[in-house]
Amino acid sequence: MGLAPCDVAWQTWDDFWKNTGIVAASNAGRAVNPVRRTFWIIIFLIGLVLTIWSVWLFFATYLGYPVTTSVTLESYTNVSEFITAPPLL
């Protein structure tokens, strides 16, 4: 027998939060005391909000600069006008 799919999902979810590389999230996942868990969740959320704000500010600044593109089209009625032969020695 094995664990029910719901139990496997819950265990995976729990293992992720205890072993993640995100320090505040892993500390919150391993905290036994509810006050410490709440503290680490608040720290995690503050970091998440600041990261999202920083990424938004970066893209807003990057996309705020104007881009000017100019295209010049030249047409030739005769190929000899376009091609120049090298000079003869």
Q: Rounded CA gap, 53 and 26, in Å?
A: 23
Per-residue confidence (pLDDT) for residue 80, from 0 to 100: 67
Which pTM does this prediction carry?
0.57
- Whether 38 maps to a domain, the answer reads yes
Per-residue confidence (pLDDT) for residue 73, from 0 to 100: 84
- Whether 46 maps to a domain, the answer reads yes
First CA to last CA distance, the chain:
92
- Whether 70 maps to a domain, the answer reads yes
Instruction: Give the domain range for residue 57.
Output: 5-77
21 or 38, higher pLDDT: 38
Per-residue confidence (pLDDT) for residue 64, from 0 to 100: 92
Residues 6+ apart with CB under 8 A from 31: 37, 40
- Whether 89 maps to a domain, the answer reads no
- Whether 22 maps to a domain, the answer reads yes
Amino acid at 23: V
Count structural domains, the chain: 1
- Whether 23 maps to a domain, the answer reads yes
Rounded (to 5) percent helix, strand, coil in the chain: 65, 0, 35
- Whether 27 maps to a domain, the answer reads yes
